[in-house]
Structure 1
Amino acid sequence: MGGSVIDLDIWTSRLKILSEMDKKKAFDDTEPGPAPSRAVDRFGFIKPEQSNSPDGIPKGKSIHEREREERRIRKWRKMIGVGGSDWKHYVRRNPHVVKRRIRKGIPDCLRGLIWQLISGSRDLLLMNPGVYETLVIYETSASELEIIRDISRTFPSHIFFQQRHGPGQRSLYNILKAYSVYDRDVGYVQGMGFIAGLLLLYMSEEDAFWLLVALLKGAVHAPMEGLYQAGLPLVQQYLSQFEKLVMELMPKLGQHFVEEMINPSMYASQWFITVFTYSFPFHLTLRVWDVFLYEGIKVVFQVGLALLRFCHDDLVKLPFEKLLHSLRNFPEEATDPDVILPLAFSFKVSTRLEELQKEYQNPGAGTSETSSSKRLQPLISKTMSRVGSRVVSNLTADRK
């Protein structure tokens, strides 16, 4: 786990939790399998045979590149101070500098700590000592068996999660079980595992738990628990907003979607449910999360629009089956963060998203809908209602 900021007390607590979980027999006694012998990329994912993926082990950097990276890390350390002590003061004084640097990407060695600072989860952790340990050890959840069943489906090609009942899977279980107890109205939905798994690669499980709480309960940005509540109400809202943005910003493609009977629930649900942690290259996922934690959900809309804009000329020519396949399998060049993120940031969507949210929540009070929007919205709602909390059950294949 690169970039972790974990002190001795947290690790001691973590080991105690794992020991207690053994006593409760949350897992069977099956011996874990052998560690994988295949090559892994720089993030810990097992590389496909003959892979030329850009997120593989990087080539040696030149002296100039290493010096530039070291200067960049020093700038970030100066921004945050020791243990993050200067962060809030720096953000208040230099918000535009912070935003610009985050959009360029947070240094990987500092990512775990900075994610906690910008999400508000560090404050939650400090205000709730001992709560996580209590949730894991002393509480029971109706979702425990479901969580155990799904654990192996989360980042199955990452070495940290590959070992059956190993430390990665056990930590992931602890977080998901604890959250299902912490918020019994939401409980557990499979898509949560990809978010918790991503966080575990950069911080301890207690830190990851409180960051999950910060996101779903809205410590800094709007609460996201509606992504996982029964009927997935927030997913329905986001898909409605996204469909209208496509119609407004790329009318030719939007009309082609109408003609081919393609709606966002067919390809974009997992973008919002897992915030691009599923099926996208990990180097892009990390850059998206840097911005997402600081600027909020709008970046998911922006990246989605950028993907469609980048592939626009090809997409408008494709019939239904090929179109759907392309929307679920973007070309490698479209997922290069240095290419797609500047394009994403060119979409200024904040004000329009607020307007579309009001229209969605108060139908008839906003501007009149286009005929295609009126036709597609019932289809989106019907699809999401039918799928419900199982919309993420298809997230079972290897994300790589």
Structure 2
Amino acid sequence: MRSNTTTSDTSREEDRKKETSSSISTPDSRFNQTLRNVQGLLKGRSFPGKVLITQRSDLLAGSTLRSPNERSFSDSDTGISEQMDGAVEDEVQNRRKPDTSTIVNKLKSSTSNTENASKEVQKSIMGARATDSARLMKFAKELSGSTVILEKLRELAWSGVPLYLRPNVWRLLLGYAPPNSDRREGVLRRKRLEYLDCVAQYYDIPDAERTDEEISMLRQIAVDCPRTVPDVSFFQQVEVQKSLERILCTWAIRHPASGYVQGINDLVTPFLVVFLSEYLQGSVDNWSVLDLPPEKISNIESDCYWCLSKLLDGMQDHYTFAQPGIQRLVFKLKELVRRIDEPVSRHMEDQGLEFLQFAFRWFNCLLIREIPFNLVTRLWDTYLAEGDALPDFLVYIFASFLLTWSDELQKLDFQELVMFLQHLPTQTWTHHELEMVLSRAYMWHTMFNSCPSHLAS
């Protein structure tokens, strides 16, 4: 009898050890499981839903995690279910609190639970068109008040802004248009007149009144404008290039600390397309600014100028001498990629490829040259929603962008890596691929940004 009891106790002890052993996982395996869980939930969807990321979902089943800036995922075109929205609405008000708690639904580590969650997400997408109106109503509610609460607007805009609301939302997010609706019209009128004065003072003058540096800068701008977004015929119109030239020249002379730097010409193009969309319909390729009266063109140029100024105010050292801001972010990108995907990082280092050789252009032009232009404004919804935090978040977006081709990169030698990264195969990308990039960036930002020691050697 004693022997049987001993044997039973021993068996239970062995089972307990096996269970304990199976519950222990390395940080890398937990990270990979998290990524697989997220991708499992997003599989088959055009746009990511709101997802909670935890490193140990089995141990943290009763707890939740919030992102540092409380961003949430939803679809700018198809929307998300009201049930998913409701999970975070009560938490939005607390986003400034340092001790964060919940964003969204929990991920379970088991395969069966992940499959069930995926099915539930897919069910919510089946009624996507029904939720379009709900999402638009949220934007309408935020924009119709006497004072726009910018934090709530950022929360909505991060996941994409409806096309016809984008001009007003961008002006608000950048601080160009004031949140107070009573002041908005007057401020815009004043700033547009101020832009006309600047053009008259800095652009519409003879070369005899310019310095040699200004003349040289003007020549460079005149060379770069025809090269701007060359695959979109709209930007090849002479009138469009003259608008770009006026905006860039006026900005550069009024910002002598940096002056004009190649790449800034690309940064004007999303603003130009968005503010023109208030007056021109249909495909960008069919637009003609000749269809607009001079007053409208002047207003559009003014909005582009001031929004460009607001954007660059938050990243001035990206375009000063030697561009130290970009160099700093490229170094952070290298460290982040090393932590997330060591095989890729090690392979690139073994091949002697420096991140500056390809990532410098990414930061300089904010990926405008790397993805189809029709996706740029959606990407910039997220950029502008980030506000002052944009430079640091760019590191996570670009890491996600690079590691889209993790497997391919590990098969290439130095020359092939350079050619591949300079001509990335994004020509056929749709919103699906872009949203996946943003999903991973959001996940890694949540996991690493508040724990910088995780990126230490």
- TM-score > 0.5 by shorter chain: yes
Give the number of equivalent residue pairs: 284
Instruction: Quote the Cα distance in structure 1 between the aligned partners of 2:128 and 2:236.
Output: 33
Per the alignment, do residues 309 and 158 of structure 1 end up closer, same or farther by CA in structure 2, a change over 3 Å counting? closer
Listed one character per residue, the Cα deviations across residues 248-295 of structure 1 (whole Å, up to 9, x for unaligned) are 222111111110111111111121111111231224322221111111
Per the alignment, do residues 310 and 331 of structure 1 end up closer, same or farther by CA in structure 2, a change over 3 Å counting? same
Residue 139 (structure 1) aligns with:
202
Q: How does 1:1-400 map to 2 (within 5 A)?
A: 68-81=131-144, 85-88=146-149, 91-92=150-151, 95=152, 98-123=153-178, 128=191, 130-140=193-203, 142=214, 143-163=217-237, 165-166=238-239, 168-203=240-275, 204-217=300-313, 223-295=314-386, 296-332=390-426, 336-348=433-445, 352=449
Per the alignment, do residues 224 and 330 of structure 1 end up closer, same or farther by CA in structure 2, a change over 3 Å counting? same
Shift of 1:349: 6.3
Shift of 1:228: 1.4
Residue 122 of structure 1 contacts residue 207 of structure 1 at CA under 8 Å; is this kept in 2?
no
Residue 132 of structure 1 contacts residue 206 of structure 1 at CA under 8 Å; is this kept in 2?
yes
Per the alignment, do residues 334 and 310 of structure 1 end up closer, same or farther by CA in structure 2, a change over 3 Å counting? farther
Letter in 1 for 2:305: F
Letter in 2 for 1:138: Q
Per the alignment, do residues 292 and 137 of structure 1 end up closer, same or farther by CA in structure 2, a change over 3 Å counting? same
Three-state SS of the structure 2 residue aligned to 1:339 is helix
Letter in 2 for 1:107: P
Listed one character per residue, the Cα deviations across residues 274-323 of structure 1 (whole Å, up to 9, x for unaligned) are 11112312243222211111111233222211123322122122211222
Instruction: Quote the Cα distance in structure 1 between the aligned partners of 2:450 and 2:196.
Output: 39
Instruction: Quote the Cα distance in structure 2 between the aligned partners of 1:70 and 1:349.
Output: 30
Instruction: Quote the Cα distance in structure 1 between the aligned partners of 2:395 and 2:424.
Output: 16
Range moving further from structure 2, 138-147 or 175-184: 138-147
Residue 173 of structure 2 contacts residue 385 of structure 2 at CA under 8 Å; is this kept in 1?
yes
Q: What's the RMSD between the two structures over aligned residues?
A: 3.1
Q: Point out the structure with max Rg over C-alpha.
A: 2
Letter in 1 for 2:267: I
Letter in 2 for 1:206: S
> What TM-score, normalized by structure 2, do the two folds share?
0.56
Residue 154 of structure 2 contacts residue 173 of structure 2 at CA under 8 Å; is this kept in 1?
no
Structure 2: gaps of 5 or more residues? 1-76, 78-126, 179-186, 204-209, 276-299
Structure 1: gaps of 5 or more residues? 1-57, 59-63, 218-222, 357-366, 371-400
Q: Which one scores higher on RCO, CA 8 angstroms, separation ≥ 6?
A: 1
Residue 136 of structure 1 contacts residue 174 of structure 1 at CA under 8 Å; is this kept in 2?
yes
Instruction: Quote the Cα distance in structure 1 between the aligned partners of 2:447 and 2:411.
Output: 30
Residue 154 of structure 1 contacts residue 193 of structure 1 at CA under 8 Å; is this kept in 2?
yes
Residue 329 of structure 2 contacts residue 392 of structure 2 at CA under 8 Å; is this kept in 1?
no
Residue 226 of structure 2 contacts residue 241 of structure 2 at CA under 8 Å; is this kept in 1?
yes
Shift of 1:171: 1.3
Shift of 1:104: 2.5
Residue 270 of structure 2 contacts residue 376 of structure 2 at CA under 8 Å; is this kept in 1?
no
Letter in 2 for 1:151: C
> What TM-score, normalized by structure 1, do the two folds share?
0.63
Letter in 1 for 2:377: L
Identity %: 25
